[in-house]
Amino acid sequence: MQTKLAFFFLCTLILASCSKNDDGIFFEIPNEVQTQDFIWRGFNTWYFWKDEQSILNDSKLNDPEDYISFLEDYNNPVSLFETILHRDDRFSFYSQDYRALTNFLQGIRTDDGMVYRLYRLGFDDRIIVAVKYVIPNSSAAVLGIKRGDLFGTVDGVILDESNYQDLLSSSKISLQLNGIRYENEQWIDEQESITLVKTEGLTENPVFKDSIYTIDNEKIGYLVYNAFISNYEEELNQVFTEFKNNQVSSLVLDLRYNSGGSTANAAILASMIYSNNTDLLFAKQRWNSLWQGRFSDEALNENFRNQTLGGNNISSLGLSKILIITESGTASASELLINGLSPYMDVVLVGDKTRGKNEFSLTLVDDPQSPDFPYLYRDTRESFINPNVQWGLQPIVGRFENSAGISDFTEGFQPDVFYSEDPIDLGVLGHIDEPLLSRAIAQITGNSAAMKTSSKNFEKIEFNTQGFLNLELR
């Protein structure tokens, strides 16, 4: 998750393409190791585990020759990045193109619009692609691909453990997929293929679906929110205005496919759900030793809000209970929302265990003179970024705790009502008989009619988050 920053004056400025030792002497960095220099200095400045990683000790800058020699030991910048990572760090990642990284974080990417999950078949090593949803106006949408479609091959190659990451993270502009269907308890490959075309600059609106149901004389709101992106908060506020105008008394928030985003946006959503009282603490930041003491308490605290970032009044439902649909990809700002609301209201989780990401990150580029915050990416300062270094870093820089001081959820949040999505029975998002939504509604109405269980013939594949993002963003 990304976080807000309070502004203050940082006394020491570091010159681009140079490093400074303790005597205040600047020294030139050879072109061939400037990327390594940026990686080391970015982590040395911001990394949450800086004090625990001896490789990030400030003393490395004491001797210019030794420092440059140290950088030269890492011919490949990736190896330095991987060496720096703390044993508990599962989520820092990089891009060799910072523009791809910043676009990715804003929901803009080169994509075919098919959002999927991978499953391993229970009886062999074969892997199938199950479509979770399709981004409107994308190649997948135009071709009629829909939630629940299954694919077993990419470019004529059957997916398995050895090839799925390379095939699915390919930078090729088009992918040819062959369908696969489950019939009479066996898998049958389709002969007809579909060619997906990746579109540059595809934008996804995270406010994916909203509905209001009247069940047993109760108004139930339903919202599928797929990313915490501040650009869409006015649309989000309109949804809650509609909920409020229709006297919605219960809410099902679907975060099953939401892996995080802006923490400020999470605080705004929390305010729409619970309260717009700005005196209430939503979350508190914890940074490394270099930064923690430099921020004021006001800057470290993320309170509930009464206005959007655009200055419009927030529509708050003032609920005392919320149902949240989760799965293993529910992470970061989604978990921040769960943790931040828990001290104030009854939060009931329906689905699968969440990811367990209790940290936040920043986007860094090689702009050491970025005012107040060295290396912090700002779109207004792209002309100041070292042209020799196109890398972008997304390191973990801190952790959040809620108003009760709770921050340890690295194992994820366990659901109150467990159900793991079945790829051959995903249902339609927003239909009240969709397996997870129906279970959430049952918690509201008390109607616990018999429901189908998940198939046992599938095993979800959990991505190495760092590795896959690094591949995807190169």
* 94-153 pLDDT, tens digit each: 999 999 999 888 888 888 999 999 998 766 778 999 999 999 999 999 999 999 999 988
Read off the CATH number of the domain in which 127 is found: 2.30.42.10
- Which amino acid, one-letter code, is at 232? Y
Residue 473 lies inside a defined structural domain of this protein:
no
191-209 residues labelled b (16+ CB within 10 A) or e (exposed): eeebebebbeebbbebbbe
Q: Same domain, yes or no, for 66 and 181?
A: no
Q: Same domain, yes or no, for 94 and 197?
A: no
DSSP three-state, residue 257:
coil
The boundaries of the domain holding residue 261 are: 207-359+398-453
220-241 residues labelled b (16+ CB within 10 A) or e (exposed): bbbbbbbbbbbbbbeebbebbe
293 with 8: CB under 8 angstroms? no
Q: Same domain, yes or no, for 313 and 340?
A: yes
Q: How confident is the model at residue 225 (pLDDT cuts 50, 70, 90)?
A: very high
Select from 326, 267, 329 the least CA-distant residue to 469. Answer: 329
- Does residue 181 have a pLDDT over 60? yes
CA atoms within 13 A on the CB side of 138: 28
**The pLDDT value given to residue 297:** 87
Return the ∠ at Cα 148 (arms to 144 and 152), rounded to 5°.
Answer: 90
Q: Same domain, yes or no, for 312 and 404?
A: yes
Residue 474 lies inside a defined structural domain of this protein:
no
Q: Same domain, yes or no, for 285 and 161?
A: no
- Does residue 409 have a pLDDT over 80? yes
Q: Same domain, yes or no, for 213 and 282?
A: yes
Question: Number of folded domains in the chain?
Answer: 3
> Which residue carries 């009240």 as its tokens?
432
pLDDT per residue as tens digits for the range 56-69: 999 999 999 999 99
Task: Please give the model's pTM, rounded to 2 decimal places.
Answer: 0.87
**The pLDDT value given to residue 451:** 66
> Which residue carries 């912090």 as its tokens?
376
- Does residue 462 have a pLDDT over 90? no
Residue 370 lies inside a defined structural domain of this protein:
yes
Q: How confident is the model at residue 467 (pLDDT cuts 50, 70, 90)?
A: very low
**The pLDDT value given to residue 428:** 97
- Does residue 76 have a pLDDT over 90? yes
473 with 104: CB under 8 angstroms? yes
- Please state, in angstroms and rounded to a whole number, the distance separating the CA atoms of residues 251 and 236: 14
Question: Which range is least confidently modeled, 4-13, 219-228, 444-453?
Answer: 4-13
pLDDT per residue as tens digits for the range 10-28: 322 233 345 554 444 458 9
pLDDT per residue as tens digits for the range 228-251: 999 999 999 999 999 999 999 999
> Which residue carries 């921050």 as its tokens?
407
- Please state, in angstroms and rounded to a whole number, the distance separating the CA atoms of residues 151 and 51: 46
Other CB atoms within a 10 A radius of the CB of residue 156 amount to 9
DSSP 306-370: SB-TTSPBP-----SEEEEEE-TT--THHHHHHHHHTTTSEEEEEES------EEE--B-S-TTS
Other CB atoms within a 10 A radius of the CB of residue 43 amount to 27
Q: Same domain, yes or no, for 131 and 68?
A: no
Q: Same domain, yes or no, for 183 and 329?
A: no
Residue 459 lies inside a defined structural domain of this protein:
no
Q: Domain boundary at 174, 202, 230, which?
A: 202
DSSP 383: G
- Please state, in angstroms and rounded to a whole number, the distance separating the CA atoms of residues 265 and 138: 25
Residue 464 lies inside a defined structural domain of this protein:
no
Please report the sign of the dihedral spanned by the C-alpha atoms of residue 284, residue 373, residue 229, residue 288.
Answer: negative
Q: Domain boundary at 202, 223, 242, which?
A: 202
Q: Same domain, yes or no, for 50 and 194?
A: no
**The pLDDT value given to residue 19:** 57
The whole-chain average pLDDT of the chain stands at 89
Q: Same domain, yes or no, for 215 and 196?
A: no
- Please state, in angstroms and rounded to a whole number, the distance separating the CA atoms of residues 281 and 286: 14
Q: Same domain, yes or no, for 192 and 320?
A: no
**The pLDDT value given to residue 166:** 86
Q: Same domain, yes or no, for 234 and 339?
A: yes
